[in-house]
Amino acid sequence: MITGRRLEVTSDRPTQFVDISTRLQDEVTATGLVSGRVYLQSLHTTLGLAVNENEPLLLEDLQGTLERLAPRDVAYHHDDFTRRANIADDEPVNGHAHCRQLLLQPAFTLLVENGRVILGRWQSIFAVELDGPRQRSIALQLDGEFAPSAAACKNDRDRELVELELARQLRVDPESVQLPMRRLVEAGGKRLRPLLVMLSARLGPRQEPLRAAALAAAIELIHDATLVHDDYVDRAGVRRGRPTVAAAEGASQAVAVGDFYFAKATRVIAELGNREVTSTVAAAMETICLSQMDDVRLRGLYPGDFDVYLRVVRGKTAALFAAACRAGAQLSDARPETAEALSQFGDLLGIAFQMADDLLDYSESSGKPRGQDIRERVLSLPLIYATENDRVGPRIRELLAGSVSEEDVGEIQALVSASGALQRVGRDARDLATSAVSQLDAIDVDGIRPVLADLARSAVDRVS
Amino acid sequence: MTGQTEVRQTELGGLESVWESGMEDVYAFYRESAPPRVALAAALVESAVDLQRLGGPAPDPPQLLVGDLCLARASRLLAETGEQALQVGFAQAVERVAAAASAGSRDPGLRDLLLAAIEGAR
């Protein structure tokens, strides 16, 4: 079996040796590779790879060697833009960095035994930035014999526990509210928020999976209750490939079902008897409601700009991600700094998730009709970026100014796709997911970092 | 002291018009049997159910969202009291009213349920 991954690396200096040994081991652990090989490949012409000793003075020596062999301040043909064709506006002066890259490896293979990357006593693995600061990607392939990792097994148990708890919670409810909500819950969904609760609830001394599952299910029900109301507000007919409550049972039922589960989730959380958790979730619910009102009000200024988008998304989507992380940590009596770091992770991940979700409006396989965000004038980052584009922006604004026909929706979608906005949003989402994971660097995440990193990656690499 | 000055401005943020269109009177009613924060939470829940016309024709979307905010604000106020019995009692009241509305059965009487929750938490 071969599994592919990407390792995102951020540099903050022009030349920098970034030690990726721990992160690479995390990737191996997360995949459960027991015995085999990891192939690494730099995806950049000014990022090299190296195995050497992580000793600060030696790293200065290595940097000095690169500088002597390919000095920055001599003339390189590559930097003579008058002689080059198709130069981008932001083309860097970096002939020295390309030449230095020749002295390093663009790719190599490492061996894995007993689940550990084999390294000598003094060996560390470096991504060597030669033209930073930048955001970089390294492609990985892991090949060999895999076993389910301990973290992955625990993750599977968490998923199972959340599903059981959700089913148990729903089973006791009156049929009139239970059946429509079950249709929504059983249609799937990624369960990211409840999984964040379960993972965060492992980080304190008080680890009680059943209480964590109750909180996780309640958070999922809050999310689903907001979807039921949102679908009425947005006049959406389909959600997760099935009819919405508003479409199938009618608007009045959608209001009642949303209210019932909003209240029920509040009660379940109150019954846990943890004041911090109750306050965290209540504050998030209020933020979500304020942002939803903001969102509807701003549809008059459609398509909006990035600042408006960020404000609304942070409230509408990221607030519950952040609360799921914080409340899970609080339930386990984790340290305040752990809860805070997890909350920041959730906040950034929530924004990244929404960006990736925006891209699904342009996808055939998302389970909802293409172009729905445009029809309902929902804030959407691809559209915002496309309207900033000099070539297609004016035409998109012109189309959005009037009532938008189906033909217009198709044209807008084509213009957005042609503008490069989808790729830009995809990059932004991946960068934010990377930043989210880096929020965890300062805390002890007790072996779940790879799982959280995996969750972050799956939140932005989506097809549905 | 008027209800308006007793209730901190931040607790009415985004809901000023709801306050002026009747919530102040509802608050005054509950204030006779509950401290300010709890009375406001009860008034918010009543206003939410009223705005969202539970059991009747659906409200327009902006009204629905204002109702959601009332419910969320009430939850936050109750969380700040730290009174678990109140949080549970208020939530159960909304559950019962919403379930009855959804099933088309008799309205269980929100005000009675909320007063019972307040009484039960003493």
Three-class HEC string of A297-318 = HHHHHCCCCHHHHHHHHHHHHH
Residue B37 lies in a domain: yes
From chain A, the residues in CB contact with B14 under 8 A are 290, 293
Contact B64 A233 (CB under 8 A): yes
pLDDT of amino acid B4:
59
* Residue B12 at interface with chain A, using a CB cutoff of 8 Å: no
Total tally of structural domains belonging to chain B: 1
Domain residues for B63? 12-120
Question: What is the per-residue pLDDT across B12-31, written as a single tens digit (0 to 9) for each?
Answer: 888 999 999 999 999 999 99
Looking at every residue in chain A, the average pLDDT score rounds to: 91
Q: Tell me what ipTM this predicted complex has.
A: 0.95
- Looking at chain A, the domain(s) classified CATH 1.10.600.10 span 153-460
Could you tell me the pLDDT band of residue A95, with boundaries at 50, 70 and 90? very high
What is the C-alpha separation between A77 and A75, in angstroms, rounded? 7
Question: What is the per-residue pLDDT across B21-66, written as a single tens digit (0 to 9) for each?
Answer: 999 999 999 999 999 999 999 999 999 999 999 989 999 999 999 9
Residue B55 lies in a domain: yes
Task: Work out the angle between the directed axes of helices B84-103 and B110-120 (0-180°, nearest 10).
Answer: 160
Residue B1 lies in a domain: no
Structural tokens at position A206: 């008080």
- How large a percentage of chain A has pLDDT more than 70? 96
CB A387 within 8 A of CB A303: yes
User: Looking at domain A2-147, which CATH architecture does it have?
Assistant: Sandwich (2.60)
- Looking at chain A, the domain(s) classified CATH 2.60.120.460 span 2-147
Higher pLDDT among residues A58 and A463, named by residue: A58
Report the gap between the CA of A84 and the closest CA in chain B (Å).
Answer: 57
CB A2 within 8 A of CB A146: no
pLDDT of amino acid A401:
87
* Residue A224 at interface with chain B, using a CB cutoff of 8 Å: no
pLDDT of amino acid A368:
66
> Among B54, B66, B73, whose Cβ lies nearest the Cβ of A255?
B54
Contact B103 A263 (CB under 8 A): no
Residue B3 lies in a domain: no
pLDDT of amino acid A378:
84
- Decide if domain A153-460 falls under CATH 3.20.20.150: no
Question: Of A289, A316, A320, which to mutate for an interface test with B (greatest number of B Cβ within 10 Å)?
Answer: A289
* Residue A179 at interface with chain B, using a CB cutoff of 8 Å: no
Report the gap between the CA of B20 and the closest CA in chain A (Å).
Answer: 19
What is the C-alpha separation between B40 and B6, in angstroms, rounded? 10
Contact A259 B61 (CB under 8 A): no
* Residue A174 at interface with chain B, using a CB cutoff of 8 Å: yes
Report the gap between the CA of B1 and the closest CA in chain A (Å).
Answer: 28
Could you tell me the pLDDT band of residue A10, with boundaries at 50, 70 and 90? confident
pTM equals 0.77
Report the gap between the CA of A177 and the closest CA in chain B (Å).
Answer: 7
Residue B31 lies in a domain: yes
Question: What is the per-residue pLDDT across A405-415, written as a single tens digit (0 to 9) for each?
Answer: 999 999 999 99
Question: What is the per-residue pLDDT across A154-194, written as a single tens digit (0 to 9) for each?
Answer: 778 889 999 999 999 999 999 999 999 999 999 888 899 99
Residue B17 lies in a domain: yes
Place of tokens 């895999």: A146
Contact A264 B84 (CB under 8 A): no
What is the C-alpha separation between A6 and A136, in angstroms, rounded? 10
Question: Of B12, B68, B90, which to mutate for an interface test with A (greatest number of A Cβ within 10 Å)?
Answer: B68
pLDDT of amino acid B1:
43
Higher pLDDT among residues A423 and B111, named by residue: B111
Report the gap between the CA of B100 and the closest CA in chain A (Å).
Answer: 9
Sequence-ordered alpha helix ranges (H) in A390-448:
393-401, 406-418, 421-438
What is the C-alpha separation between A184 and A186, in angstroms, rounded? 6
What is the C-alpha separation between A387 and B110, in angstroms, rounded? 49
By C-alpha distance, the chain A residue nearest B69 is A289
What is the C-alpha separation between A23 and A125, in angstroms, rounded? 10
pLDDT of amino acid A463:
53
pLDDT of amino acid A366:
62
Could you tell me the pLDDT band of residue A8, with boundaries at 50, 70 and 90? confident
